[in-house]
Structure 1
């Protein structure tokens, strides 16, 4: 489950033994909207950071694919108008005030404007397998914003954190938030299930139409369960939070606990979660998966990170989310760890 993803990926890609897309998606907007879980609600209960196409909205009708609505994308693959989003991380000071943790770009994407690194992987190692790319209208989420125990979050298998000693650290993943200062920051890893029922583009809980392999993991080519027989690409996000700005232990709680809180009020880290609305244009993603692209993909249209940084969308929920705050947006003071 825990593997040196970037170093391994680059080495295998160079040898032709692995296929993957790895690319940057800069931040589009940070606000309290969630068209997947809380469609029509403005504001939604908690704050998200969103990347991808600028068709992201309060409500996103699955019958109206993002490519028909978006005019630009923050992603470096220019035909990817999908939206990807996660919660936002805050630092809680000893006096009870909060400050949004800034982000830093991943290795190789130094110009990126916050955001995430996105991966789509059809297979690992030398065992090639055919995967079915997501279809128009497809959407899903992984994790549970209300999880507060290791037992609750372990059902998702691969929602983890990496305490970065350097920007290239890819070992020592944990299910819970690191409880020591991390020299370069904390990377949140969000991996989605890789099996689909082949019928439903969504489900009421946005999870039941997808599943993990029946045995093993995606990394060792575990077979899909009979209920979800269709293999889909491994989608996962890497998000680097620059917690180094808060590494002075004199700022941390006097009881020795870690000081970082997800924007849904989660101080445990077990509420790590991610959302996805598919929005690749035409058959671009299937083409990339079929041709086993290695990191770069000549078959796909690309744009520079600088061009992606220019893609924008007006904020629709106006509230203060940066600087020192008495409470996380949407939360009452002192509610961390309690929000369900």
Structure 2
């Protein structure tokens, strides 16, 4: 063999070895994935995972590649001709149930407009080799049948430590509203409103009875997907092919023996709930939100994923890129490059179902959810489903009378001590602006920062992923008024700030 050829071959082998070694993570790396305008590819009553070849039980907000349809066997997602994701070689689909507002006065249902959505790709600290998803892989996070809070109400993504709680609601609030608890302290999550996360003053399970009015941060759905794949099960068998990793006792998370460690997907979905500011009264022990499956509690929050990644592109990102909030599209040498804003916004998919009008700001036709799902309220156990993720048509028991909110704060294990007066508010931006260095970046899967104290604490921070200055939003007229715009100074700050590694805390294991 010629010397130069031998040298090149050895260099190639060495590069391959280094790349393979990089798959084992001593510390967690991550990057975000954004969608054109933060909006959906489509809104439609289809679900190729739970209802393949048929019509889904409820409306979904769908993101990603335009190959989405009622039936997507094998690697169908990869055949998309365009995507709303800003990484061009990701043709995957992600979807969540659509959100609705129910008028407390007359029960009228209005669709709530999506405000913004983002996906995080975490490559966890692990002894495993992290590898791309197999072709045709699909999974579901959350349980569409739930109408009751987790017991115990505790952050947990580690199955070795108890029941996994993969979904929550986050509610950033302005400074003037932050002196009251997000959920009534007396609420056990079974009557009119959800239950407080004891380790985070800005989050909980089930819908809160407070208004989420942090700057550019209305009500947010948080969903963590599993990151372990069983190679002995079909990639399409979403009920048995995935699991959450467990702590390995060395600051990392490992999959069960013989399983494959894949990226950890985390979805943030903001809903423009501020448009309904004047149509309900906050802090009264009841809330007006309804998921598309008829759930009035919020406990059935869930999301679906079908893999459409180009395998080499995802492998490259796993092994070579840690952009944080700058986003996966910013990685140097990204195979395929990034999708331009124009390309993302022009990627469309019309819903093929003739199911009538569903116009933001307008009541639903006949005041019925698509799929004619009966509204189902708070119960002691999971709501009985008639099959798949669809709630049954049986009328649920009548919900107990709402519990009135109390004027005291919950114990909060992940916040600093503060006096009841002058407490700062939880706040976050739906936009990919980096956090100022004076405010530590919060972490969706970080370790708890401390243990709960016996005395009462007030919420001064919240695990959010992009923190900006808090302002008060003037919501104005119902239905037609959006959240307040950024000030000129804020816009300038967003243009000039750059990501700072110091402002992002990369915890290696634990809860959210």
Q: TM-score, normalised by structure 1?
A: 0.80
2:141/2:225 contact within 8 Å kept: yes
Q: Tell me if 1:297 matches 2:304.
A: no
Q: 1:255 to 1:216 in 2, by over 3 A?
A: farther
Q: 1:128 to 1:302 in 2, by over 3 A?
A: farther
Look up the match of 2:342: 306
Look up the match of 1:213: 245
Structure with a larger share of its residues in strand:
1
Look up the match of 2:266: 236
Number of matched pairs: 304
Tell me which of 56, 67, 73 is aligned to 2:68: 56
Look up the match of 1:164: 172
1:52/1:73 contact within 8 Å kept: yes
Q: 1:120 to 1:194 in 2, by over 3 A?
A: same
Partners of 2:135 and 2:259 lie apart in 1 by 19
Tell me which of 306, 312, 327 is aligned to 2:368: 327
1:135/1:201 contact within 8 Å kept: no
Look up the match of 2:414: none
Tell me which of 208, 212, 227 is aligned to 1:194: 227
Tell me which of 275, 295, 308 is aligned to 1:245: 275
Give the deviation of 1:65 after TM superposition: 3.2
1:91/1:259 contact within 8 Å kept: yes
Deviations 1:185-204 (A, max 9, x none): 11101111122223334364
Partners of 2:205 and 2:82 lie apart in 1 by 35
Deviations 1:165-209 (A, max 9, x none): 27xx997221222221111411101111122223334364x1321
Deviations 1:53-86 (A, max 9, x none): 0000011111x43223x11001100111000000
Q: Tell me if 1:44 matches 2:56.
A: yes
Q: 1:286 to 1:199 in 2, by over 3 A?
A: farther
Partners of 1:288 and 1:258 lie apart in 2 by 41
Q: Tell me if 1:104 matches 2:115.
A: yes
Give the deviation of 1:225 after TM superposition: 2.5
Q: 1:103 to 1:171 in 2, by over 3 A?
A: farther
Unaligned runs of 5+ in 2: 1-26, 155-162, 179-199, 384-390, 393-512
Give the deviation of 1:139 after TM superposition: 0.7
Partners of 2:88 and 2:304 lie apart in 1 by 20
What secondary structure does 1:235 align onto? strand
What secondary structure does 1:283 align onto? helix
Q: Which has the higher contact order (CA 8 A, sep 6+)?
A: 1
Partners of 1:332 and 1:310 lie apart in 2 by 33
2:93/2:306 contact within 8 Å kept: yes
Partners of 1:252 and 1:33 lie apart in 2 by 34
Look up the match of 1:148: 147
Partners of 2:70 and 2:123 lie apart in 1 by 31
Unaligned runs of 5+ in 1: 1-16, 106-115
Give the deviation of 1:332 after TM superposition: 4.8
Q: Tell me if 1:21 matches 2:31.
A: yes
Q: 1:20 to 1:57 in 2, by over 3 A?
A: same
Look up the match of 1:288: 317
Alignment of 1:263-274 (within 5 A): 263-274=292-303
Give the deviation of 1:317 after TM superposition: 1.2
Between 93-102 and 299-308, report the one with greater CA deviation. 299-308
Deviations 1:270-297 (A, max 9, x none): 1010100000124111111011331332
Q: Tell me if 1:256 matches 2:266.
A: no
